[in-house]
Amino acid sequence: MKVNISNNMKQLFDEFYDNSCFYSSFIFLSNIMLAYSFKYYIFSFLFVLLLITSLIFYTYTNIYTNILDKIPIILLFAYGLNLLYKKCKNINNNFKICLSALIVFLFLVTNYLFYYGYLVKEYCYHKDKKIADLWHSLLHVNTSIGFNLLVIL
């Protein structure tokens, strides 16, 4: 029996492409583990909530799961902003200044992709849902990197 690997790979890629936001949500596992290892237990817990609500939202998309998914996002934003403020008060070298600037930049990129994209119906709100989901997956990666940098700052 001959197995056509190229068709299997195409099927796997199509599956990811159709559900990229679901799969990209797993990047938040890095935030959970890093925050926990740095003893930011609340931060870690909020990322556990985000991972759970994101997986629920991308599996059962409706207005209720959308609202549910926004709760940990808002909490993470508030907690992260507070943590950034506290850490920036004690910056004592150029590396940490650059790292802080990168964190702010990544936050601005996230807002640009999400909110500006909403206004112009691009990026995360592109008319082609697959393209919109790929942009949103990039948003997951961008946000995860920013929060991980915040933890190690």
**Two structure tokens written together for 150:** 């915040």
Separation between Cα atoms, residue 147 and residue 57, nearest integer Å: 21
Express each pLDDT in 3-22 by its tens digit. 555 666 566 566 666 789 99
Separation between Cα atoms, residue 134 and residue 28, nearest integer Å: 16
What pLDDT does 5 receive?
57
What pLDDT does 13 receive?
60
**Two structure tokens written together for 14:** 């199509």
* Predicted TM-score of the model (pTM): 0.89
Give me the mean pLDDT over the 38-65 stretch.
Answer: 96
Q: What counts of helices (H) and strands (E) characterise the chain? A: 8, 0
Separation between Cα atoms, residue 109 and residue 131, nearest integer Å: 17
Express each pLDDT in 27-47 by its tens digit. 999 999 999 999 999 999 999
Sequence letter at residue 78: A
Of the pLDDT bands very low, low, confident and very high (cuts 50, 70, 90), residue 123 is very high
The residues spanned by each domain of the chain are: 24-152
Contact, 29 vs 51, CB < 8 A? yes
- Is it the case that residue 141 has pLDDT exceeding 70? yes
109 CB neighbour count, 10 Å cutoff: 16
What pLDDT does 18 receive?
75
Is the model more confident about 105 or about 6?
Answer: 105
Q: Tell me how far the alpha carbon of residue 84 is from its chain's centroid.
A: 17
